[in-house]
């Protein structure tokens, strides 16, 4: 007896869907399963819709079948736009944003967020600042209103400034205990010495002690402009649909037939988000006063080193990097594949000497390090391309030698098999990173600031597919081979090789 499923939607415009059940033998047929390839699956990813308000604010959204949504404001400002005098102002403002606005005192703002069961957060980097909130989809209008109030009406009360000053000073002390963060700050300080990119996001403790309300107000009025902002949202909602399972298909509904209540994704409506942006962000200023338009000065890279030796520490933290490409440079894809080939390692990983990464396998076999990771940190026109490792004081020289040998090997003899492995690792990382509404929303906001558009996953897949072994060899030779690196070391680093020796490891003499 054939079975049919009749779904009648509760809202207007609902249709009737008839589905005929196939036999198990037919369902097992490979021709009917319709296996979908990875590239085909990426084509079904929802499209990102982008609109522009009259004041220059960009509004972007992407629908997805999720019961929650994330909405946030991404701003093209960070410590790179600060001077030595006000370095840390953006980090200070970020802390004050959740302490109340002119319309909502601190306690009222916290209660309003908690009443929605929302998650409100913010972060600052060297080039960007973000405020975002994750809520149930039905609370999207309230979330946009809260974000607009936080961004435009931060109260900056003197009492709150003094409280946050103490909080920031304590955080700076805690950050000093994170040697990974310390070594990356040192790496930026030496690689981009004499330029704004050398400045830490948090700023020095001296600035945290003396920044005033006037300094913070001037920072907000100078940088929080509509053309430098993106309002992004990702996620969806659920609408209830009445589903009637009927056997056999009836001519009329009768009492006693089974009824099931299903949910169908509706998604974040771009028109709704655009209307909310127009309502709450249209008054945001787009004009600069005379001679206050911020100009992004180019930041030069300098091959150099910083050493902070402390034999009391148990492990050494070392970072080495060459100058990498900016965000929009197409070489980034091949370099990400190269980084995936070198891979990453932690002593808690299973697999031991059988790990696919040659460097990880050697590190396990010879007990060279606790962990290592490659990185490609991008900025507008430059970047840092390298690796960071944590090891015992007597293994630094060997670990540095093996790392540089892997770079030189990729420059001269990268193979198709390992490039294929690196491409698959990159594909997996690219897709898994966007699991959830918050990372998708962050990807949209950051992409619009850095690329000027949101690059779909299908386009990333096509770029990855184009990479082959010759491309990796060519691009790695361009960025690694015979280049001056920047080096930063913290801890018991007596065995860290002399800079000239490290520099000589950036090429091979072959006859």
Start-to-end CA distance of the chain, whole Å, equals: 80
Q: Which residues pair with 61 in a beta bridge?
A: 49, 233
Quote the tokens at residue 431: 């897709």
C-beta separation of 305 from 503 below 8 A: no
SS3 49: strand
Residue 94 falls in the annotated catalytic set:
yes
238-246 and 259-265: which strand pairing? antiparallel
Catalytic residue of the set 62, 82, 94, 461: 94
Q: How far apart are CA 145 and CA 131, in angstroms?
A: 13
Quote the tokens at residue 38: 């990875």
Q: Judge residue 473's burial from the number of C-beta atoms within 10 Å of its C-beta, 0-12 exposed, 13-18 middle, 19 or more buried.
A: buried
Cis amide prior to 248 (ω within 30 degrees) = yes
Closest CA to 307 of 476, 488, 130: 488
C-beta separation of 345 from 370 below 8 A: no
Instruction: Collect all residues with Cβ–Cβ distance below 8 Å to 108 and sequence separation of at least 6.
Output: 100
Closest CA to 432 of 455, 457, 467, 451: 457
Residues labelled as active-site residues: 94
């Amino acid at each position: 007896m054939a079975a049919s499923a009749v779904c009648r939607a509760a809202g207007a415009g609902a249709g009737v869907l008839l589905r005929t059940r196939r036999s198990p033998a037919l369902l097992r047929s490979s021709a009917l399963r319709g296996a979908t390839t990875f590239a085909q699956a990426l084509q079904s990813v929802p499209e990102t819709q982008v609109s522009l308000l009259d004041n220059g604010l960009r509004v972007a959204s992407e629908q997805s079948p999720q019961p929650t949504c994330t909405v946030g404001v991404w701003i093209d400002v960070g410590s790179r736009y600060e001077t030595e005098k006000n370095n840390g102002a953006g980090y200070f403002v970020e802390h004050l944003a959740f302490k109340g606005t002119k319309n909502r005192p601190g306690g009222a703002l916290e209660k309003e967020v908690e009443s929605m069961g929302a998650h409100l957060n913010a972060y600052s980097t060297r080039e960007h600042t973000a405020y975002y909130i994750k809520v149930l989809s039905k609370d999207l209008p309230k979330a946009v209103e809260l974000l607009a109030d936080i961004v435009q009406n931060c109260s900056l009360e003197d009492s709150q400034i003094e409280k946050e000053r103490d909080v920031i000073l304590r955080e700076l002390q805690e950050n000093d205990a994170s040697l990974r963060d310390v070594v990356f700050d040192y790496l930026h300080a030496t690689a981009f010495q004499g330029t704004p990119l050398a400045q830490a996001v948090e700023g020095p403790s001296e600035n945290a002690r003396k920044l005033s309300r006037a300094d913070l107000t001037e920072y907000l009025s100078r940088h929080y402009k509509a053309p430098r902002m993106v309002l992004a949202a990702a996620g969806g909602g659920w609408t209830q649909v009445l589903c009637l399972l009927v056997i056999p298909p009836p001519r009329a509904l009768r009492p006693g037939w089974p009824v099931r209540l299903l949910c169908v994704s509706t998604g974040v409506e771009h028109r709704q988000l655009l209307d909310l942006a127009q309502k709450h962000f249209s008054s945001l200023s787009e004009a600069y006063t005379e001679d206050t338009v911020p100009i992004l000065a180019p930041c030069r890279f300098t091959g150099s080193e910083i050493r902070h030796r402390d034999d009391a520490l148990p492990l050494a933290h070392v970072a080495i990097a060459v100058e990498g490409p900016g965000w929009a440079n197409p070489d980034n894809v091949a370099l990400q594949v190269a980084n995936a080939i070198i891979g990453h390692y932690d002593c808690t990983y299973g697999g031991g000497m059988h790990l696919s990464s040659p460097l990880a396998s050697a590190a396990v076999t010879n007990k060279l390090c606790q962990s290592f990771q490659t990185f490609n940190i991008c900025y507008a026109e430059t970047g840092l391309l390298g690796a960071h490792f944590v090891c015992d004081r007597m293994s630094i020289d060997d670990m540095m030698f093996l790392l540089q040998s892997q770079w030189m090997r990729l420059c001269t003899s990268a193979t198709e098999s390992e490039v294929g492995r690196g491409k698959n690792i990159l594909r997996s990382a690219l897709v898994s990173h966007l699991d959830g509404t918050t990372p998708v929303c962050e990807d949209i906001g950051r992409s619009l600031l850095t690329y000027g558009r949101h690059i779909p996953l299908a386009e990333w897949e096509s770029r990855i597919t184009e990479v082959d072994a010759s491309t990796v060899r060519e691009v790695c030779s361009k960025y690694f081979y015979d280049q001056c690196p920047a080096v930063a070391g913290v801890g018991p680093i007596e065995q860290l090789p002399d800079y000239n020796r490290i520099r000589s490891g950036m090429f091979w003499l072959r006859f």
